[in-house]
Structures are given as C-alpha cells and as structure tokens.
Amino acid sequence: MLSKLKEFFARVFKSRKPLLEYNGDLTSPNGRIVCRLTLKKGQVYYSVLRDGKNLVRDSRLGMNLRGDEPLYNGLMLVRSLNKSFDETWETKWGEAHYIQNKYNETVLYLSETGGKRRLFTLRFRAFDDGVAFRYEIPPQPEFQNLVVADELTEFNVDFNGYAWHIPAFQPDRYEYNYERSPVYELQHSVHTPLTIETPVGYAISIHEAALYNYGSMTLKLNQNNALMADITPLSDGAKAYVELPFNTPWRVIMIGDSPLDLTTNHMILNLNDPPKEDFDWVKPLKFMGIWWAMYVGEYTWAEGERHGATTKHTEEYIDACERLGIPGLLVEGWNNGWNGDWLQNGPTNDFIHPSKDFDLKEVAKYASSKGIELVGHHETVGYIDNYEKQIEEAYKEYADNGIHYVKPGYAGAWMSIQGRREFHHSQAGVLHYQRALELAAKYHIMLDVHEPIKGTGIERTWPNLLTREGARGQEYEGGALYPSHATILPFTRLLSGGMDYTSGIFDVTNNVKRMATTIAKQLAYYVTIFSGMQMAADRPRFYEEVNPAAFKFIQDVPVSWERTLPLLGHIGQYYVVARQERGTENWFIGGVTNEDEHRVRVNLDFLPQGSVYQAEIYRDGENAHYRENQLAIAIETRKVGKMDYLDILMAPGGGFAVALKKIQ
Ligand code: NOJ
Ligand code: CA
C-alpha cells in the first residue's frame, strides 16, 4: 500500500508543473455567482460574488493539526480540474418530488512546497443558488491519520449584515429563541444554519452538508472580524480524530435574492449521496401521541395513578386514531426508568422492558389489528453508553412486534460517551447519531430524533431519518415561545431539513402550558413547518368533541409534497407558503404572523388554467388574538380558480390554513 502511494505521488509530481500563484473563477451555471479562487504567498483563499457584488471577501482555508504542522501555508497548486453536472433526482418524500442538482465544479489539488510535502484537495461547487466546498485529504506515505485542532475556514461576510442566531455550546442544545443582530455583534459561537440579511439586499445562509465523523460546525468572529468555523470540540479539546482518506463535511453558503428565496434552496440535500439501498419501506407518517397529556399534568411519564402509557390508555388512543383517521400513535413513558426524576435515571434507563401496566406485545397486536402504526420511544437523556448497550436489542424488539417508527430523545445537557462528557454536536455525538440511524435502517425503523444533531441533508442517503426536532418546539409554549418564533424558523432552522414541531394543540387556553398562538395558527404549522412525520399533538377529545370542524384540516393535510411555492415572507414577521400534495393536484396553503396582525392577499395564480377548486379556508375569527381570544376561528368554503385571490387577515399571533381541492 505504502509503496504504491509513493509511486503515485512521484508520478504526479513528475507530470505536473506546480503553480505558486493561481487565480481562477468558478461560475454558477446561470453566470450570476462567481466563486473566485486564489493562491497567493502559499495560501488559498476564496471569495464569492453575486451579480458582481461581493458577498464573501477573501476568506482563508486550512486547518491546524494536533501533533503535526498546520495545513494551510507553503502550498502550491499541482493540478486543477473543472467539470459540470446536471441531474434531476426523485425524492422518497419531502418538500419537492423532484430536485435538480446542477453545478459547476473546480477541484484544486494542492501540495506543500516543503516539509512532508503533504497533499490535499479543495473541491468547490457553484450552484445557481450558492457555493459549497470541502477538504479532501488522501492517505500519504507520511500522513495516514490526523487530529484536527482547529478548522481555519473563514466566511468573510460583510459584518454589517443582520444575522439570525442561536447560541452554541449551551445546555439546551439548539432549543433557544432566535436573536437578530449585526454580524459584528456576535460575541459567542452560534449554530448554523446562520441566516444573514446582507447590506446589498441578498440573503445568505451559512451551513454544512453531509456531516459524518467530525465535529459539527458553529461560527464565531475571529480577530479579523471574519466569521470562522468553530468546530464543536471533544472533551479533550480536539475537533476530530480521523483516518485518511477523509473528506470534511461540505461548507455551504446558500444565496437567495431574498430570505424567501432561500426557503427552497436544495443545496444541502444535493450535496449528499443517493441512498445505497432502495428504502422502499420508508413512509412518512401523521401521528397522535400519549404525550401532551403529560405536559399539561393530566398524565405522568412515571408509573402511578396518572401513568399515561398504560395498556388501557394506549388502546383507547389507538381507537381514537382509528376513528379520527390518524394512522400513527406515539407512546412515551412505556418503559422502565421514568419513576422518580427521569432526568437522573439516564444511566440506568431500560429500553427493553415495559413497566408493569404496559403490555407491549398486546398493544402492538391491537395497533396492528386496527391498522395503526405505533411510534416507539427511547429517552436516553444523553447516556449513550447505557443506550448503546441496549439499542440493537431494543430496535429488534420493536421490529419483532411490528413497530417501524421510533422517537429517540437526548434531553440532557451533555452526552455521556465512554465515560466522558461530550457535546451532543461533537464528533462523538455525530458518530452515535449515525450508528443509531444505520442500525435503525437495518431493522427497517424510521426515526423522529429529538435533541438531534442538526440536519445536514443526510436524509437523502438515509431516508428513514424522517424528521428531527432540533429547535424550540411547542414543548416550550407556556411562556418561552414568542409568536415570532414560527416566522423565523422557515428562514433559519428549516433550511437544514424538516422539524417535528408537535403541532396541532387545540387546547390553546390551558392554564399550565398556555399557547402564544390562535387555533388557526396551529393548523397553519402543518404547511409552514415541513416534517416527514407530522404530529397531531393534542388529546383526542379536543379533536373529536371540542373542535372537529378545525380538525378536518389536520385530517386532510398531507405529509409529503409534490412542489413547494413560498409566497410571502419577512423573517420574524410573517410567512406564507403553498404546497402541492404529492401525487395529486390538491394544494394547501399555510400562513403565520408574529405578535402583530398582518393582512395578506394570496394570489392563486399557481393553480392550473381552467380548473375549479374548492377552497376550505381556516382563518382567525373576528377579534382573534393570541392572548385574549385564541379560540376564535372562521371556517368557510368557496369555489376558486387561477384568477382568484384570498384576502386574509391574520390576527396578532395568528395564522391561516387553506385546503384547495380540485373539483374539476
Ligand atoms: C424532550 C422531547 O423534545 C420531548 O418531546 C419528550 O417528550 C421529552 N424529551 C421526554 O422524552
Ligand atoms: Ca426537545
């Protein structure tokens, strides 16, 4: 192996005349984006322009290594290659049925001029809606593995831009409220996607794709006031231990003419590989849950008088799913480990044995006799050592009982891995989430991961990863969620993939977890927040008895889409989107606003010429308000066509949902 490598490198150097200086422009297929690549004084830089305007100025690339020389200076260019690619691929499920993956690529093969003459490659892609690049390091005679001390990648954006950010390295992982501030005010590391409204009018979002075997990227300002990668460290401070060959995740700069334009950017999925198996068993799901009853204190996760996950309650919920036409049911608190303080029980939580009052086999049999899919639940509290001892048997037990969906949770401030405290988002965490996902695939299990690693598009390769939480969801209602939150997510968190927001709470006025929304806004979420698994999160009686007319929308709305058309939006203020149901000609529209009332005119010109649709409109009723009058909802039906528009007033903290069913 080694002698072969040596021969290879000798050949490369003999046949090429390395360049000490280089300037090259990589242009997007439509010519609007230029990624300018420069090698000067032994270092490589890139910059990005859109329509001739500078979005990212000269930004340094490279990494510091532990126990080895840094890999960023004293470089020469051995060879460069260009190629173009254009392919349209079919998704298994998602926001669009078909996605075009079209880009131009430049690959720079670099070598150090002295020392060990180590080699590495930089692969750049320019899409019509952004730029991506990654480091690729081949194995070399004197370079077989490495320890990344720091990745030096810069994203030197104009620091006058306004960034929407949540803090990194905090105990509640990604579950924070977004703040908006000029880039130059970013004091601490922030998570990606980091969406920035640039001073020249475009919107960009910096993120990563295909995160495997590496710490996840956060961003911080460096001494030059440039944003720079700040890779989540392991407990010993290293950012990643890797063996060569190794490719870093893609570093991605999504670019839109406006924030709304970003919301259909598919670069993150496109930068991932197609699946290696057929995954035909994967199916998106709508589900209810023995869940919200615990949040409002009606049930408990722990055993006892008010235990939620009993055989009896589960069978009642299964009956309700059948009556209401909701094909799935999540059951939390079914296993041993919830009694007492469950957050403290993490090290000993039992994922295999049910509590005395829960008969897994019987419940599974009952669900299957009614055609209802059970969604199993594993709350690890981040104790990975304990979980990994049981995970395969636990998945197998579920699979043997015909349970194909699992919601894992990692609700701890840390992960405990090999006895060490690690960040969820460190290389150790990333490796665990990946092991769990691949094992789930082996047992044909689909996942809804709570407290997950952020989305980096790997669901293209692993479509059984149907959704994640990974931001503040409705469990934070009752004081910690603002009406604006749902108008920020589509432009930030949701650029990384779908989210389980646990929508559809109709008991909005409850005293324990009072929602900061109107009831119409709860319906809007099914369209504004994409998720491969959508929860109808309230208790069945609120759907059957309290508001069956509004519940009809949750029954009708699909989980997977043919096409997505963002219509109107302003980060933090309002957002309106239309989506076509996959495989039909029906359309659904959702709109949400912040604490201010907002009136929108929704043109229906996306409907096909000559067709007639029945519009079922669910909007805030008269004087609706997220604090004073949450329940006021108006439901109306009328015939519409391509030339029509809807004039809708969203109440403070409100929203609307529309089902457009083709009748002719
Ligand atoms: C946090 C999850 O986000 C929530 O949905 C779940 O109910 C709790 N952990 C308990 O597992
Ligand atoms: Ca959570």
Residue from 643, 661, 663, 519 nearest 589 by CA:
661
For ligand 1, atom 1, the nearest C-alpha belongs to: 411
| CB of 477 shorter than 6 A to ligand 1 | no
Q: Of 154, 475, 477, 562, which is the active-site residue?
A: 475
Domain boundaries along the sequence of the chain: 2-270, 286-557, 588-662
Q: Is residue 3 scored above 80 in pLDDT?
A: no
Give the tens place of pLDDT for each residue, 208-231: 999 999 999 999 999 999 999 999
Q: Rg of the chain over CA atoms, in angstroms?
A: 26
Q: Is residue 480 scored above 70 in pLDDT?
A: yes
Atom of ligand 1 nearest to the CA of 301: 10
For ligand 2, the distance from its centroid to the CA atom of residue 451, given in whole angstroms, is 5
Residue from 61, 59, 44, 233 nearest 147 by CA:
233
pTM recorded for the entire structure: 0.97
Pocket-testing residue among 349, 450, 451, ligand 1, by greatest number of atoms within 8 A of Cβ: 450
When pLDDT is averaged across residues 142-164 and rounded to a whole number, the result is: 97
Please say if 475 is a catalytic residue.
yes
Task: Output the CA–CA distances (angstroms, integers) from residue 305 to 291, 298, 333, 381, 538, in the order listed.
Answer: 16, 11, 14, 24, 21
Q: Which ligand is nearest to the CA of 379?
A: 1
For ligand 2, the distance from its centroid to the CA atom of residue 397, given in whole angstroms, is 25
Six-digit token pair at 80? 């460069």
Residue from 562, 473, 558 nearest 522 by CA:
473
* Range from 8-12, 324-328, 553-557, 561-565 carrying the lowest mean pLDDT: 8-12
Give the fold, CATH level 3, of 286-557. TIM Barrel (3.20.20)
Give the tens place of pLDDT for each residue, 356-378: 999 999 999 999 999 999 999 99
For ligand 1, the distance from its centroid to the CA atom of residue 115, given in whole angstroms, is 52
Give me the pLDDT at residue 14, please. Answer: 65
For ligand 2, the distance from its centroid to the CA atom of residue 620, given in whole angstroms, is 28
Pocket-testing residue among 332, 335, 472, 502, ligand 1, by greatest number of atoms within 8 A of Cβ: 332
Angle at 192 between CA 187 and CA 195, to 5 degrees: 85
Q: Is residue 124 scored above 60 in pLDDT?
A: yes
- Residue 550 has phi, psi (to 5 degrees) of -70, -30
Give the tens place of pLDDT for each residue, 246-279: 999 999 999 999 999 999 999 999 999 999 999 9
Q: Is residue 160 scored above 60 in pLDDT?
A: yes
Q: Which ligand is nearest to the CA of 407?
A: 1
Q: Which ligand is nearest to the CA of 171?
A: 2
Asked whether the domain spanning 588-662 has the same topology as the one spanning 2-270, the reply is no
Q: Is residue 4 scored above 90 in pLDDT?
A: no
- Supply the mean pLDDT for the chain: 97
Locate all alpha helices (DSSP H) within 538-620, ordered by sequence: 540-541, 548-556
For ligand 2, the distance from its centroid to the CA atom of residue 475, given in whole angstroms, is 7
For residue 260, give the 3-state DSSP assignment: helix
Q: Is residue 400 scored above 90 in pLDDT?
A: yes
Q: Is residue 461 scored above 90 in pLDDT?
A: yes
Peptide bond into 199 cis (omega under 30): no
Assigned superfamily of 588-662: Golgi alpha-mannosidase II (2.60.40.1180)
Yes or no: say if 663 and 533 are a contact pair by the CB < 8 Å rule.
no
User: Under 8 Å CB-to-CB from 647, ≥6 apart: which residues?
Assistant: 599, 600, 601, 602
| CB of 500 shorter than 6 A to ligand 1 | no
Give me the pLDDT at residue 437, please. Answer: 98
Give me the pLDDT at residue 17, please. Answer: 80
Give the tens place of pLDDT for each residue, 22-57: 999 999 999 999 999 999 999 999 999 999 999 999
Q: Is residue 7 scored above 80 in pLDDT?
A: no
User: Under 8 Å CB-to-CB from 663, ≥6 apart: which residues?
Assistant: 612, 613, 614, 639
Taking the domain 2-270, which CATH number applies?
2.70.98.10
User: Under 8 Å CB-to-CB from 233, ≥6 apart: which residues?
Assistant: 215, 239, 423, 426
Pairing of strands 285-290, 533-535: parallel
